[in-house]
Amino acid sequence: MESGELQKVHFVTGKGGVGKSTFAAALAYSEALKGKKVLLVELGDESFYQHFFLLSKIQFQPVEIKPNFFCAHWVGEQCLRDYLKHLIKSESLIKLFWENPVTKSLVHAAPGLSELSILGKITSGIRHHGPALDFDVIVVDAYATGHFQALLMAPEGLQATLKSGPIFEQGRSIKSVLQNPAITQFHILSLCEEFPLIEALDLEKFLIDYGAKNIQLWLNKVLPLDRDLQKEIYDYLHEKKQRQDNALKILDQKKVYILPWVLKNSVWDVLEGLFPALNSRGPNENK
C-alpha cells in the first residue's frame, strides 16, 4: 500500500436482484487495472463469487483472481476469530476458547456481534485496530437493503443497550470511519423499476441519517433508447423506455449515475462492458 494515501472502502447495496455483485466485481476489477491493490469482499453464509468467477472455492483468505485483484468471503465468526487472534496473541488460549462447545452458541446468540466483527475487520486497517489489511481499495458486496441496514446498525444497536465497554468504544470508532467521505463510499443500485427505486431512495435517506456523506445512486441496466425504436420489437422497447423515463422522473432532482445493460453472456465481458460508465463517473444530471 502506498504510504500517505488513505485506504478506500466501497459498500455496494440495493434491493435483491438489481446487480450488486456484478457492479461490485466490475468496480473492484477496474480499480485493479488502474494499478491499485484491490480486495473484493463478499458477505453471507455461502459464496456467490465462486460461481461467478468459476472457482472451486472462495474463503476467508483472499485469493488473487487477476493481477492485483483479490477476492475473499467473510463471515462474522471468522472475522471475530481473526480479531481475537490479534487481541489475545496466545494460540493455546484461543484454541481453548474456540474448542469450548459453548463458544459457538454464544457467538451465534450474541446479537450484532457477528455484524460488528465484519465491520471491524473491514475497517481494521484504517483504524489501526486488529490485523493489518494490506489493500489500497476494499469493495464490499454488502447485503440487500434490510440486512445491509442491520449490518450498519450493529454498532449503534449495541450502543443503545450498552452505554460503555469495549463494544461501545469499537462501535463508535467503526461508525466514524463509515461516516468519513474521504474513506468510505456507498453505492446504491437500482433497476428502472418502481420497487427497487423506492428501496434505493429509502436507503439513501437511511444513509444520510446515519451520517454517511459519500453516497452515489446508480441506475442499472439502462438501454440507449433515444433513437427510433425498431418496429419489430417496438412494444418491448417502448415499455422499457417508459420505465426508464419513469425512473428518472421518480429520481427527480437527484444526481444519478447510469450503468448500461451490457448485452453479453460471459462474466468478464459484462464486467468490461461496465468500465466506461465506472471510469467516466461524471454525474448524469437529471433533466
Partner 1 sequence: MKINKKILICVGTGGVGKTTIAAALGIQAAKEGQKVLVLTIDPSQRLAQALGIDKSQGIRKVDNQDFSGELYASVVHHQEMFDGLIKRAAVRYPGVIKLLENKLYKQLTTSLSGSQEFTSLEALYLAYQSNEYDLIVLDTPPSKHVLDFLKAPQKLIEILNKSVVEWLSDSHQSQVGLFKKILQQGTQMVLKILENLTGKEFISHLAQFFAHLGDWQGQLQERIINMQKLLFSENVQFIMITGPSIPHLAESQSLQREMQKNGATLKSIYVNKAFPSWYLKAKAQNWELKGLASELKSFFDGQDILLKKFEQEQSPEISIYRIPEIEFDIKDFESLKKFTQTTFIGSIKNV
Please give the residue ranges that form the binding site for partner 1 (CB under 8 A): 15-18, 21, 44-46, 48, 51-52, 54, 84, 88, 93, 96-97, 100-106, 108-115, 143-144, 146-147, 150, 157-158, 161-168, 194-195, 223-225, 230, 232-233, 235-237, 239, 263-267
Name the minimum Å distance from CB 74 to partner 1.
13
Q: Which is nearer to partner 1, 34 or 195 (CB)?
A: 195
Residues in CB range of 274: below 8 A, 6 or more apart = 22, 23, 26, 30, 259, 260, 262
Q: Closest distance between partner 1 and the C-beta of residue 148, in Å?
A: 12
- Residues in the chain, overall count: 287
42 contacts 49 by C-beta, under 8 angstroms? yes
What's the rounded Cα separation, in Å, for the pair 266 and 45? 25
Q: How far is the CB of 76 from partner 1 (least distance, A)?
A: 9
Q: How far is the CB of 277 from partner 1 (least distance, A)?
A: 17
> Is the dihedral angle over the CA atoms 159, 163, 167, 172 positive or is it negative?
positive
Q: Which residues pair with 95 in a beta bridge?
A: none
**CA 273-194-186 angle, 5° bins:** 55
Task: Work out how close the CB of 264 gets to partner 1 at its nearest, in angstroms, rounded to a whole number.
Answer: 7
Choice between 6 and 96, CB closer to partner 1 = 96
Given the complex with partner 1, which of 30 and 117 has the nearer CB atom? 117
- Of 90 and 286, nearer to partner 1 (C-beta) is 90
Strand ranges in the chain using DSSP code E only, listed in sequence order:
8-14, 38-42, 63-66, 69-73, 137-141, 184-190, 215-222, 257-260
Cα–Cα distance, 116 to 87 (Å, whole number):
16
